[in-house]
Amino acid sequence: MMPFDSSFQTVYDTIRAAASNSTLDCKRVDDIWEDSTVIQDVFSLIFQSYIVVCDFTGKNPNVFYEAGIAHTLGKHVIPITQSAEHIPFDLRHHRYILYLNNTEGHQALQVELQKRIVNLAEKRHYNQW
């Protein structure tokens, strides 16, 4: 989950690469059109997901709303942000990945996301047995 803004395309590509390198599929609501309303597609994606990456950069209200849905459904939420001040007080107790919006920052974000995704995926696999 992230703001729909072209300035986040490289960040989305980074998230997709981290997921792909961890053998998971990454989707954003603009990748699908299954329902007539966008929010139903958002809900469906969250519902079907095991891990949800939320970029809180810019304090986008939709991202906060969707993160709330993910938390309510018991999904593993990985918060990321370009500024710690974009994480609201009531979510700061959650660990998050801070990244710079440049080439080196995206590379570091990909490494950190992959570590977290692999860790969560291993727990999922272990819990299924």
Indicate the pLDDT class of residue 91, thresholds 50, 70 and 90.
Answer: confident
Q: Using CB atoms within 10 A of its CB, is residue 71 exposed (0-12), middle (13-18) or buried (19+)?
A: middle
Residue 13's pLDDT is 95
Percent of the chain at pLDDT > 70 equals 96
Residue 129's pLDDT is 46
- Give me the residue spans of the domains in the chain: 6-128
Query: Mean pLDDT over residues 24-44, rounded?
Result: 84
Residue 5's pLDDT is 84
* CATH, range 6-128: 3.40.50
Residue 78 contacts by C-beta under 8 Å, 6 or more apart in sequence?
51, 52, 53, 54, 96, 97, 113, 116, 117, 120
Residue 30's pLDDT is 73
Residue from 19, 11, 1, 25 nearest 115 by CA: 19
Residue from 109, 113, 107, 112 nearest 82 by CA: 109
Percent of the chain at pLDDT > 90 equals 67
